[in-house]
């Protein structure tokens, strides 16, 4: 059974690597100083990450956005998000780190999440050398990556060396405990179907009881346990089977006192930011960009205020 699962996962990855996003930006629109590949040491081996460096005249430290690709914790590559990372780096003047985290079933929960957290800590430890501000980090992801992003935001609370100031949760799976057949769509054949969701869960959760862990299923967290989470940008799609749990998670965050910037995109299905409709995809990326810009500016003002108070 495990051999069959591994074979299916590898076939799915091969297919995913050949897939191209239908909605992309022309790289020439968003020129950058450089795009480089870095291998970051972690307990799960070197984590490959693409670094998008903006042209900037600023002498200060750059804010950072850590991007986590989708693919059900099983497939997907950071290159799928390349053009969007270029846009965000250019328009926001931030370093975008596009991470190739370990995948299931070889590395089930919580490996991808814990490795991503080690990458965050590595970035903070290298802040001076990289010229980045470890107190202005945002995390975000799409589908499974959105699940990992909100898990990172949870783990980073109260960290002494870094601060996550914003989380982007884009049509994410946030309740792995609910049976996939109970997740409904108005469409007869939504992009993310019951069978595929069941396969993803079986790969990611080596023990079904892990589905009850709030780091795997953030929706199951107690309201009190979500207090102090960073502000969130939360995106759902009308036809996506993950819409209901995404909206429920947004409501739970609000109950915990977390600021939630939420949009449901009508006429759209899962992965619409990459597959279209084009107008909706572009609108969603602008929504994300505006939220991150506000978060980075707000954090910079807070840092300046703290420095001013400290000098009095």
The catalytic site residues sit at 143, 240, 270
**Bridge pairing between strands 95-100 and 47-53:** antiparallel
Question: How many angstroms separate the first and last alpha carbons of the chain?
Answer: 66
Are 16 and 77 within 8 A, CB to CB? yes
Look at phi and psi of residue 271 and say left if phi exceeds 0, alpha if psi is from -120 to 50, else beta.
Answer: left
Are 147 and 141 within 8 A, CB to CB? yes
Angle between helix axes 2-18 and 194-204 (nearest 10 degrees) is 120
CA atoms within 13 A on the CB side of 59: 0
Kindly provide the b/e burial profile for residues 98-136, where b requires at least 16 CB atoms within 10 angstroms of the residue's own CB: bbbbbbbbebbbbbbbbbbbbbbbbbbeebeebebbbbb
Nearest to 299 by CA among 88, 91, 87, 92: 92
Q: Kindly give the residue spans of alpha helices, DSSP state H, lying in 19-110.
A: 82-92
């Amino acid at each position: 059974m495990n051999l069959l699962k591994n074979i299916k996962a590898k076939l799915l990855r091969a297919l995913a690597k050949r897939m191209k996003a239908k909605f992309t930006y022309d790289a020439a629109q968003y020129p950058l100083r450089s795009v480089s590949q870095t291998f970051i040491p972690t307990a799960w081996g070197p984590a490959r990450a693409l670094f998008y460096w903006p042209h900037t005249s600023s002498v200060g430290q750059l804010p950072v956005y850590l991007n986590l690709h989708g693919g059900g914790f099983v497939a997907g590559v950071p290159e799928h998000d390349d053009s969007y990372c270029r846009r965000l780096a250019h328009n926001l003047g931030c370093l975008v780190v596009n991470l190739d985290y370990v995948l299931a079933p070889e590395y089930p929960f919580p490996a991808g999440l814990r490795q991503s957290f080690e990458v965050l800590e590595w970035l903070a430890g290298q802040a001076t050398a990289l010229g980045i501000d470890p107190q202005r980090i945002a995390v975000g992801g799409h589908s499974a990556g959105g699940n990992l992003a909100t898990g990172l935001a949870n783990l980073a609370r109260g960290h002494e060396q870094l601060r996550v100031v914003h989380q982007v949760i884009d049509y994410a799976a946030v309740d792995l405990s609910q049976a996939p057949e109970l997740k409904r769509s108005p469409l007869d054949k939504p992009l993310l179907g019951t069978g595929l969701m069941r396969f993803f869960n079986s790969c990611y959760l080596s023990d079904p009881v892990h589905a009850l862990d709030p780091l795997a299923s953030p929706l199951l967290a107690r309201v009190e346990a979500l207090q102090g989470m960073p502000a969130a940008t939360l995106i759902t799609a009308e036809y996506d089977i993950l819409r209901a749990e995404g909206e429920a998670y947004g409501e739970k965050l609000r109950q915990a006192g977390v600021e939630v910037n939420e949009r449901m995109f009508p006429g759209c299905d899962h992965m619409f930011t990459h597959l279209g409709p084009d107008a909706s995809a572009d609108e969603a990326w602008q929504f994300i960009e505006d939220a991150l810009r506000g978060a980075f500016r707000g954090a910079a003002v807070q840092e300046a205020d703290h420095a001013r108070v400290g000098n009095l």
